[in-house]
Structure 1
Amino acid sequence: MIEPFLEMMSAERGAAANTLASYRHDLEDADGYMRTRTGRPLQQAASADVASYLRALSGEGLAASSQARRLSALRQFFRFLYAEGVRGDDPTGPIASPKKARALPKHLSTDAVSRLLERARAEADADGAGANAVRAKRTRAVVELLYATGLRISELTGLPAALLGRAEPFFTIRGKGGKERLVPLSEAARAACLDYRQALDADPRAVDCPFLFPNETFGAPVARQVLARDLKALGARCGIAAAQLSPHVLRHAFATHLLQNGADLRVVQQLLGHADISTTQIYTHVLDERLHALVSAHHPLAAATRRH
């Protein structure tokens, strides 16, 4: 029944040649497995047989995304058999799609962040005036804030200018879902923001502007795309590829470097504003590395192994 299925996909759904070739490969592979394991063709497979086939693919190291593609082909095939009256059921119905592993977030090393901060500070402190000087100071303030706080870029652009009038080392931010959280404000980040605002206040329109980072007309916050563009340009000037750098990458660096230096996962969850700890658990690879290093450094057997 594989050939009639492929003919239907071509004639009725206009499937491209590459798509048909992919379906053929996946279905013939499954058919071969079924005949070898059960002695029956694919069209007679039971749910347990399909589940066994997927487990076999996983055991061979096939990626979850590729397993999901194979299962999708099987679903299409068995729905065709049901529609044609060849089968009275769909054995793929009870089968859950393989879950794709969550990609580890991109983050910068501490050395890369140090280079970024040093370049931002040098450019902000360079002699100059006008729009370019203000932009350099703004970029420094943005880098300092993102790395010191872990803010989302949308949260950063919405910060009020009144924030700098507070003496407290923390401020409150309203994040996703309207949830409020406390965010630390380092002295370096505060100093960078004050330096930027002092340069910006040379424009009379800035005096009554309520936004910490206004746009060119002072009528709204600066667009996050503008800040992202300036950040990538700064990164390029200190040897960091554009694909490796974004405001969100600095947020991930904030979390990763905290965990690498001993912070608790629950604390990082609160600082990032994650509603569920499962979201923060994308960083558990950092904890795994830290625990491995801890055991390797301090366990008596590990120490004995190093001596030998």
Structure 2
Amino acid sequence: MDSRSYQLHTEAVAYLASLRARDCSPNTERAYAGRIALYLNFCLMHRLEWTTPSFLGLAALQQWLIEAPLPSRSSTARPGPLRFRSRSTANAVMTAVAEFLRFGHAHGWVPASTTGLLAEPKLLRFSPPGYDTGESDWRREVQAAAFRFRINEPGYEDLSDEQIRRMIALTTRARDRFLITLLACTGLRIGEALGLHRADMHLLASSRAAGCGTEGPHVHARRRTDNPNRALAKSRFSRSVPVTADLVALYTDYQYERDRVAQAADSEMVFVNLFRPPLGGAMTYPNTKEMFDRLARTTGHACRPHMLRHSAATRWLRDGIDRDVVQRLLGHASPLSMERYRHVNDAEARAAVEHVESLKERP
């Protein structure tokens, strides 16, 4: 959008529409909209043509992203301390800009000279697990993003069992207790959970009467593009995930709570608004974020839906569950996606060393 005329930026709108056409989640579309707006505003401020920003222009954008202070969150007259974007956030913006420019090139808006600036050859010193470098290592040279800060990846955060139990104990609503426990026990993504329909909840010992041959209580995670809350399962493949008797009991508690709200009776969605308008409407991503933010303030530690997914995967792997089983439960198409979930703690590292030491003492 042009900040002087407030006219929609046609090419940016087309790019966001392409994300929607590719079934990207609303969160992805919202994040990319903000990142593209940053780029277009930067071009406007520095009198750059967005289709031909030049190498120096893109380098200046990259530096500006980490040096320009963010707007203050304080509503008082006394502003709080200055905040800045992290390098990882700047990298995410530059990735979105690169994708936008490549999209523009594909449609004839952006010249090849611009997209040629976005990547540079890089020689892989260490290839990822499962990557075939080809005969004579000819595939070691890859195209890497030209505008990207080097950062130490912090890894993925998980929660201890005690932290999860405390989250559940401090939650006063049956719906929210069920949602937290569902994510922690099944490893579902938040989009998969918010996209659940009541027909997906097969919680009897046998669901043959419903035409389902899967034995035992389970839920079906399905990708749907017409959910009223725009919740979207990332995986294109449906899967069933077993659930425990305790989770079934929490779902029953939630149903009692839900039955007290007449507007919720006709909704086919599992998770609905019970405490604020629109009553009976499907819970949305922002609703859920507010709930987890409140919980984080109460517990005193970070609480995010994806942390529960990582916690489930880490717990399964530590308990010796076969990686193929964990991969199926999480709905990953590639085994390489499993690498991110294995968190090694200090106790495990010490146990491994002590195990080696004990071998020396054997006759």
Counterpart of 1:170 in structure 2 is: 218
The question of 1:148 aligning with 2:148 is answered: no
| Partner Cα distance (1:115, 1:303) in 2 | 42
Query: Which ranges in structure 2 are unaligned for 5 or more consecutive residues?
Result: 1-52, 64-87, 92-118, 124-143, 205-215, 223-232
| Partner Cα distance (1:94, 1:249) in 2 | 35
Q: Deviations over 1:111-159 (max 9, x none)?
A: 2112212223xx3xxxxxxxxxxxx221111111110111111111111
Q: CA deviation at 1:217?
A: 3.3
Matched residue count: 209
Counterpart of 1:117 in structure 2 is: 168
Kindly tell me: are residues 288 and 115 of structure 1, through their superposed partners in 2, closer, same or farther at Cα, counting changes over 3 Å? closer
Paired-residue identity, %: 29
Alpha carbons 1:297, 1:303 under 8 Å: kept: no
Q: CA deviation at 1:279?
A: 0.9
Secondary structure (helix, strand or coil) at the match of 1:286 reads: coil
Kindly tell me: are residues 205 and 284 of structure 1, through their superposed partners in 2, closer, same or farther at Cα, counting changes over 3 Å? closer
| Partner Cα distance (2:59, 2:354) in 1 | 58
| Partner Cα distance (2:350, 2:58) in 1 | 55
Secondary structure (helix, strand or coil) at the match of 2:170 reads: helix
Counterpart of 2:340 in structure 1 is: 282
TM-score by length of 2: 0.49
Alpha carbons 1:173, 1:182 under 8 Å: kept: yes
| Partner Cα distance (1:251, 1:14) in 2 | 36
Q: CA deviation at 1:249?
A: 0.9
Structure 1 stretches of 4+ moved >3 Å? 12-16, 92-103, 162-166, 215-220, 284-290, 292-305
Query: Which ranges in structure 1 are unaligned for 5 or more consecutive residues?
Result: 1-8, 20-64, 69-91, 124-135
| Partner Cα distance (2:122, 2:201) in 1 | 55
Kindly tell me: are residues 224 and 266 of structure 1, through their superposed partners in 2, closer, same or farther at Cα, counting changes over 3 Å? same
| Partner Cα distance (2:58, 2:151) in 1 | 29
Note the aligned Cα RMSD (angstroms): 3.8
2:199 counterpart letter in structure 1? A
In terms of fraction of residues, the more helix-rich structure is 1
Larger radius of gyration: 1
Kindly tell me: are residues 208 and 94 of structure 1, through their superposed partners in 2, closer, same or farther at Cα, counting changes over 3 Å? closer
Indicate the structure whose relative CO is greater, using CA pairs within 8 Å and at least 6 residues apart: 1
Q: Deviations over 1:265-301 (max 9, x none)?
A: 22211111111111111124439974x5554454464
Secondary structure (helix, strand or coil) at the match of 1:176 reads: coil
Secondary structure (helix, strand or coil) at the match of 1:194 reads: helix
Kindly tell me: are residues 102 and 282 of structure 1, through their superposed partners in 2, closer, same or farther at Cα, counting changes over 3 Å? farther
Alpha carbons 2:235, 2:332 under 8 Å: kept: no
Q: Deviations over 1:37-70 (max 9, x none)?
A: xxxxxxxxxxxxxxxxxxxxxxxxxxxx9xx9xx
Q: CA deviation at 1:228?
A: 2.2
